[in-house]
Amino acid sequence: MNLDKSYDPKKVENKWYKVWEEKGYFEPSFDKNKPKFSIVIPPPNVTGVLHIGHALNNTIQDVLARYKRMDGYDVLWVPGTDHAGIATQNVVEKEIAKEGLTRQALGREKFIERVWQWKERCGNIIIDQLKKLGASCSWSYQRFTMDEGLSRAVKEVFVNLWKEGLIYRGDYIINWCPRCGTALADLEVEMRETQGKLWYLKYPLEDGSGFVVVATTRPETMLGDTAVAVNPDDERYKGLIGKFLVLPLIKRKIPIIADKAVDPEFGTGAVKVTPAHDFADFEMAKRHNLPLIKVIGEDGFMTEEAGPYKGLERYEARKKVLEDLKTQGFLEKEEDYKLILGHCYRCDTVIEPLVSKQWFVATKPLAQPAIAAVEYGFIKFIPENWTNLYFDWMRNIRDWCISRQIWWGHRIPVWYCKDCGETIVSKEELVEKCPVCNSEKVYQDEDVLDTWFSSALWPFSTMGWPEKTETLTTFYPTSVLVTSFDIIFFWVARMIMMGIHFMGQIPFQKVYIHALVRDEKGQKMSKSRGNVIDPLVMIEKYGADALRFTLIALAAQGRDIKLSEARIEGFKHFINKIWNASRFVLMNIEKESAEVEIEPAKLPLWHKWILSELQRTVKKVREKLEEFEFDQAAMEVYYFFWGKFCDWFLEVAKVYLRKEETKLQTQKVLLEVLTTCLKLLHPFIPFVTEEIWAHLPKKDTEHIIKTNYPVFKEDLIDELAEKRVQFLQELTVGIRNIKAEYGLTAKTDLEVFYHCSEDQYLNLLSQEKEVIEFLAKVKKIEGVKQHIKSKGEVSYILSKGEVLINLENLIDLEKELQRLTKEKEKLESKLKQIEKKLNNQEFLEKAPKEVVEKERGTYQELMDRLKVVLRYIEDLQKN
């Protein structure tokens, strides 16, 4: 039964994970008598490796999955990876470039073959890393967004939405990445404040009567202007509405129009309208029937329409346009200006808004039932404040551009007939003939679907839809989705829309939005800052359990996590504490103790207390897990195990283990508490708990993963025992504090008096005298009703009575008084400094909130210490 002297995660983790997998413990049973719990993993990119955000997300999911399995649920946790269209294509393009190849040189078919080869070779790295973390996914259900079943689901959805008129193709302004050569959805564009310029340009009136000055941050786009707009209520321009201007450099005639969307406060109040390169201008052009002139192409170079600037890169064109405007007298002035620029979320290139023929999903009809599902509480966001963000986006939703101009992904299931122009939308793998004219001159659309299109189907496509599978019938809708806030729009909202539309049911009942993991100073982790904490390095150094427990213990709802390696190291000490406590228990019990029946009424006081406190912990942990307050659930067990079981009961047990009449009872209680704690802790720290479990005598199951999660037993709650032990602990702490204050060791023979006027407390001390003497490490403690203080005696005030120890022959009283007086003066000086800060309004307003709170906390700590010092000084001065 004995454990090794120290815990080594490397000996344990791989061993147990292999056992769990081989025995099929992660797989659902489809037992009709069990309640169901299902969850789908947010599929990491197939290009990805485990980062600290993944570690947090999957630890939370694993805690839920393990807890529910132990609590009698049939659990399905669907794992998988996302094909990550743009990212994966970029990776493989870089790889073939080393061979001197391009994807164009290879051709589409050969290039796709190379991507699949790369996927088979490198695409499951993150899956293996999730296993190192301990993720208990149902691995036989592992899916990939490009696998055969999910690809079929994608086609089914596309064709059905097309038939319903919810998918269409049209010329529309979209975000375009010139580097990746593809359209991007609004959500794939990262908006950043950038220091730029505002240029004021003169546009001459056609009749020669003057000019209108417009302000722009993008002078190169003026080549595509088709109007200048003013606000209809702007008195400065009312007389010019309807007149025409001559576009500088290009000499094209353009009208002055009036539109309410124009902000009279921006620049001069007159704005250039470039419908093919600005979202607001595109909408304005539709209202005023203006032409669209595309002057920047998909490659980021100027088009034929740019006239003399054709072929210039867009920023080179800007320089040349500004030079020519200045030379020809059309540039009035320039000034510094902060603007918001969109960047590609993959390659960081500044995106180009441009008009392009793309495929779109009409989202408003899909959004309405998705909004209602949350409004009526069928889906709940946790924390609840994320609901407002969801509503804000969904109520202002724009049509979703779903086509991407890359090769890796689900190719759009649309063919075109060269002869009659028919558009053929089909679920078939290959269309060979036009159904209208029978021509064989048909070709498939070159574009692929947005990666998020297939991800939106994830909760039901992974379970076999469009087939009515047993998995789908049993486990859909899923119970909860665990994700981060940054993909509420990308993924969560789209899953809700698609789930309701195609399944007629919500895809999940709850959405738990977890925190962002930052560094210890609260800064976002990034390679450039050098503050990234690699979870795989932490697992190698401290073990998976230590990392898992740290992340969970810090994962408070609504607050970002401030993580440091020191915190992980700190919780590694907790893992060691569990190991050492378990080792103590196993070394001090006999096999027959496992057979002993506990009779609570006959147990000693401390045994009743620890069992009562254990049940309160069970109740709180279960409540907190159900409320998704994972940090509080973890810390409830932490405080009980370390603070109550280890610090108190294991010490008390030493007294009872040496008595024959209480030995077996004590062993049984030790085993009961340890066993229950291991079960409570297993979802958080599965490896160490499974290893200790293997050494326990007489277990209800071979492996802890298969045991039942502890259930609250109200009959073991003993409030009287709790109150009595609370007093005995206070008494013990009082004695320890006096000893610590005056440097008295366990070897010092001490006689202690407990002075109290109430018989019940004196009687309690009398009953527990042996335990208190052992815990406080004193020779003798005596309870007295009346006591006259003698010379050299110091006291410690308790809630009931006081502790007294005579120090006359143990320390130099005068020296001690001098020491305490010096400490008092230092404390008072520090308190004055902090008081000065806390009374300074400027400090309170300007200092960070956490700094102010820290100062207040320090002030309170110093005040508490000062009270103690003053009490001891008073005692010594009386002598």
C-alpha to C-alpha distances, 589 to 63, 330, 666, 667, 668, nearest whole angstrom: 31, 94, 9, 5, 8
Tell which residue, 401, 344, 374, has the closest CA to residue 495: 374
Question: For residue 525, how far is the Cα from the chain centroid?
Answer: 13
The answer to the question of whether 527 is labelled as a binding residue is yes
Query: 384-418 burial, b if ≥16 CB within 10 A, otherwise e?
Result: eebbeebeebbeebebbbbbbbbbbbbbbbbbbbe
Alpha helix segments (H runs only) across 658-758 = 660-681, 686-693, 719-741
Contact partners, residue 397, CB within 8 Å, separation at least 6: 363, 364, 367
Alpha-carbon distance of 459 to 462, in angstroms, equals 6
Q: How many CB atoms lie within 10 A of CB 377?
A: 8
Question: For residue 47, how far is the Cα from the chain centroid?
Answer: 20
756 touches 836 (CB < 8 A): no
In DSSP notation, 818-866 reads HHHHHHHHHHHHHHHHHHHHHT-HHHHHHS-HHHHHHHHHHHHHHHHHH
Q: CB burial class (10 A; 0-12, 13-18, 19+) of residue 562?
A: middle
Alpha-carbon distance of 316 to 296, in angstroms, equals 12
- Specify the DSSP element, H or E, that contains 343: strand 331-344
Tell which residue, 560, 634, 569, has the closest CA to residue 850: 560
At 49 the three-state DSSP class reads coil
Q: How many CB atoms lie within 10 A of CB 436?
A: 13
246 touches 204 (CB < 8 A): yes
Tell which residue, 427, 397, 403, 412, has the closest CA to residue 494: 397
Q: What phi, psi does 782 have (nearest 5°)? A: -130, 135
* Plot region of 701 (φ>0 → left; ψ -120 to 50 → alpha; else → beta): beta
SS3 content of the chain, % helix, strand, coil (to 5): 50, 20, 35
Q: What phi, psi does 599 have (nearest 5°)? A: -115, 95
Q: How many helices (H) and strands (E) does the chain have?
A: 29, 29
C-alpha to C-alpha distances, 227 to 196, 271, 754, nearest whole angstrom: 24, 9, 94
Torsional sign, CA 153, 156, 162, 164:
negative
Alpha helix segments (H runs only) across 264-313 = 279-288
Alpha-carbon distance of 288 to 285, in angstroms, equals 5
Torsional sign, CA 147, 148, 153, 154:
positive
Show the tokens assigned to 773: 């003497």
- Specify the DSSP element, H or E, that contains 22: helix 9-22
Alpha-carbon distance of 843 to 845, in angstroms, equals 5
Contact partners, residue 483, CB within 8 Å, separation at least 6: 42, 57, 491, 492, 511, 512, 513, 514
Residue positions forming the annotated binding site: 527
Which parts are annotated binding residues for ATP?
527
